[in-house]
Structure 1
Amino acid sequence: MGDGVEATATGRSGSPRATGRYGPGSPAGTAVAAEPYPPLGPEPAAGAYPPLAAGTANLAGLAQRYGLAVSGARPSLVDYARQLWGRRHFIRTFASSKLAAQYTTARLGQVWQVVTPLINAAVYFLIFGVLLGTHRGIDNYIAYLCVGVFLFNFTQQAVQAGTRSIPNNLTLIRALHFPRASLPVAATISQLQQLVLSMLVLSGIVLVTGEPLTWRWLLILPSILLQTIFNAGLVMIVARLAAKTTDLAQLVPFVMRVWMYLSGVFYSTGVVAAHAPHLVVTALNWNPAYVFISLMRHSLMTSVPAHDLPGHLWVKAAAWALIVGAGGFAFFWHAEEEYGRG
């Protein structure tokens, strides 16, 4: 007790760092260092690390050597398409879940997928067929109108869903790494699934109104395929624009309504062609919505003879699908790094 108490402090790895003795003659709390800190280890050899002055050149070289890439960087267009194909199961499941969730609060549920275009067709028949008399010169106006309403509704709903595909999924975009084009493509697939159900009802309407079942019904599938490719490209275009300008979602319904009035949904373009300038008739015949609607009418209705259709209609449909489908995909891909930021 008289000799005092010895205190030892340990350093790294349990080695003694400082030793002190508190005795009767030393002030309380005073420790005297007995040995220095041990060395941390040998210094790295010269040239072991690239000099800082080399900057990004050396860093880029190291990244390339070890296969490192910038997080969220845009891949090449071919790699992007390959990644998108690899997410095809996710896209299909995501589209189905969105379609099911759309009507979860409605008592009739997904029955509204079919009821909505039917109600629209009934309203348009009353206004344009009965009150305005646009049915004149059209055999089987009910089937003619329903085909136009159902087919245009496919494009309209897909485009409107595309404007929400990025803003409504920002949490998913910021949390997971996946091709962002999966979202507008899923919006298109969701509307395609809805169209399949609507086509069953539309086929019944066409048959009930007196149209026979012919070999031309086989053209339904390629017609829908071309329109789906066109829709997907158009949806990706509006999805990129709406990602930057969210007000676009409020404007699109008005644009789509004007487009519908210019697409021969309610009337025969032959009536317009008799009085309109040649330029207007040409623009109407190249209107993609009119092209796809006319293809479906020709497939389902014998009362729409082939000679009443504009020439090379399938070529026009394929051209629209290729140009808008591929162009929309490239346009969306070019801004891949920007989605979800800001």
Structure 2
Amino acid sequence: MEVALSKPVKTGKPKITLTDDHGAPQSADIKLDSLDITGNRAVVKFTLTKPDAKLWDLEARNLYRLRFEWPTGRGASVKTVRFGFRWFVVDGVGTDALLRLNGKRIKLYSAISWGYWAYNGMWPTKALSRREVEAAQALGLNCLHAHRNVGKHDVFTAQDELGLMRVMEPGGGRHAIGKDLKPGESLNEADQFSRDFMFEKCVTMAKTFRSHPSLAHYTLQNEIGANLQNPDVQRVLKAIHDTDPSRTVILNDGFVKRGAAQAIRGILGTIGSINNATTSIAGAVDEQTAATGEIAQSVTKAARFFSHRFIHLPTTKHTETTTWQSAGSWLWTIPRPNAFSSPNCW
């Protein structure tokens, strides 16, 4: 958790309390791992363990709240964040690949939400937020893409409550990748500002929405291509993943050209257990264990897995890795992905 302070402090210990969605205190083992204070900014890392946690899924939308108080006592600042315990895994890579939510098989059926709203065009009312979710469910979908505009809290709140997944794009994320430069060239002032602005937007997106259990993963932008030799590709994917290590970050999806380069940043590490729901809270209230991942890039074979609009790489609890390589490319490792089953694949 990152805390902005109105003035520098040297002492004090945060108090962290778990409640249900109605504010009733819940028993949990909460351990403060570290507290780093630099100037007017503090970074707090702590681990919350609740073996009897009720999991969030599309049918049973069990939600909790985490109350963060610091410094404690009179004059304390308090922040309450809503979240849910849940995880994705991928199984059967290379044999009978499928995707699981909380250990149960799930297929994602999705469509793009363009993010233009009645009345003002920029953000929805709470009623419109629920109507979008209910309309998607009436069409038989269990997921939507935020595409041209970054997601909105009211929509995510509706999805958390009604049970609909969301894939997040920042909107125009490709602009976080500057143009390819020849030796000795540099970006002009306008291009550098455009790249840096979108980079910060991507990081802020992950900080803002990472506590919503309905958020599946991040995609930089639908239907784009990028030169993986351009260091901006790694830079922005790594920044998003460092901000929210609990989710996978994908360069592009949709109608990606066969054989085109793909980049993925995934997780290496364990994300809890179906019998012992353990959650590590890093940043805000992330629903899954924060783990350091390796930048995952591949070319030809990865494009086969991720070149369809309805195929998504979720976070994985497996520590096993698969390596991919093709002529002229780097060799990287990623958590074992799936060629997910969907009526719109192949």
Given the two structures, how large is their TM-score scaled by the length of structure 1? 0.23
Highest CA radius of gyration, 1 or 2? 1
Between Structure 1 and Structure 2, the one with more strand by share is: 2
Structure with the larger RCO, 1 or 2 (CA within 8 Å, 6+ apart): 1
Between Structure 1 and Structure 2, the one with more helix by share is: 1
Given the two structures, how large is their TM-score scaled by the length of structure 2? 0.23
